[in-house]
Structure 1
Amino acid sequence: MSDPVGPEDNDTRSPAKAARPSLWLTALSLTAFVVLIGLGVWQVERRAWRLALIDRVEQRVHAPAQPIPSPATWPAVSAANDEYRHVSVSGRFLHDRETLVQAVTEEGPGYWVLTPLKRSDGITILINRGFVPSERREPSTRQAGNPDGTVEITGLLRITEPKGGFLRDNVPQHNRWYSRDVTAIAAARDLRNVAPFFVDADAGSQSAGGPIGGLTVIRFPNNHLIYALTWFALALLLAGRLFVTFRGGLFRRKIALNGFVHEPAGGLDGPARRTGSDAGTIVEST
């Protein structure tokens, strides 16, 4: 008569099943590992791109001033190729058509003063002459700083800032401006033949009593290395967890398949369940 299957046999089989990770969980973990590695590689590539961008901008800022792009090249002007170029332009300011754009600088809260500069060939360029505090908002408080006649301006070429600032849309009909939107400002001030960019005047272009120039902030956050290390660390932790899970599962399945591992003190010929002072070590699957 064969021995009936007892509770002990069921106990030794259940751990083997419990130790085996489910297929969907394994697939999900492997997918997450691949995604984390991909994110880490992407951040490494972004860091290389950002460093190259910073290097290009540094070269542009410190290069000798060049004439602004000609009208024929305006459609090709872009942030990647032209922003922060050191440029120069000459013409006559149209002070009666200036626009104040809200700003916060190292000088405190106030406004950027954007004044159209009309060249002799009829081309108009918006010039960010610089910053004025709130108490000098009215043009009458700074008439002495508004030069007449032809002036030469040097500064940095900037790309238009359409629509408005963070959570604030420009309201041209109420003369409220939160960004330097060249197209909208030109339309509001009835300007013609306007360049699709503006120029941040440098400190050397400011006049006594006029706006404070040279306050352009050039800052490119570069946290990509930290992000890359974070993604790679998460991938490493996940890989370690997978290793422990699978290695532990294989070990437990081996124990479960063998049932009890008996190491008798008297050698291999000893009884399987000897008790007493010379009993061997019984290792039971858990």
Structure 2
Amino acid sequence: MKNLFSAMLLTGLAGAATTARAQSTVEFGPRLGLNVSTVKESGTPDPGSGFSQETKSIVGVQVGATLNVGINDNFSFQPSLIYSRKGAEFIGKSDFPFNPAYKTSIEATATPKIGYLELPLNFVYTFGGHDGFQVFAGPYVAMGVSGEGSAKATINTNDPDLQMALGGMTSFPATLKVEFGDKQNDNANNNNTSTNPGTLTATITVKRFDAGLNAGIGYRVGPFQAQLGYGLGLVNFTPKDTNGNDTGAKSYNRVFQLSANYFFGGK
């Protein structure tokens, strides 16, 4: 995957340089935007009856720069280099038979936020020539460079003994650490290593590299460009277990992206 990232980076730069020598329309400018991301999962073990799980989208930012290289009056090649934050909120609910005479349930949430250094390589068609409505598509590769998040467990019960044991507490927050690796860390569990003695720390492991396809629509007026796209992750970022065995679980990034560019240069 590391070789693929390097190869696509070199291909994008070489293609942009070759086209730039042949054309006079070369522009460069900042790119800012928002992500609405989630994670598509499959192959996770069935936890059994009494358990439910859902995944919600979260909002992240993207910031970087884009090179616009005109190929002809309508087509252009737009490689970008951006920092893009993705992730999701995972919510699990389960009945807990602590005492069959009472009702107890547990709800756990985890919200990992992963920062990627991403290289989209988009080909853009503008119907009006330089300005107007656009469609675009292309591949992307990405490398995880940062990760953080939050987690929380909430216990609801009418069991007086359990309520007393909990000391009146029903919510237990945790700091979520994200590490990168090809297999799960042996210590990737809840522990009390947080700098705050009252807060637990949970650690999750994800694979560092991602790749997929982008497609969408846009509009350009003068040096301004706005685009709405969808990113389809094609690389499973769930690592192997601590013994290096495939767990069968698969996780893929899915993200809606709204971005804006301002280009300098050109004819």
Q: Tell me the TM-score range normalised by the shorter chain.
A: under 0.3
TM-score normalised per structure 1: 0.21
Specify which structure has the higher proportion of helix: 1
Of structures 1 and 2, the larger Rg is shown by 1
TM-score normalised per structure 2: 0.22
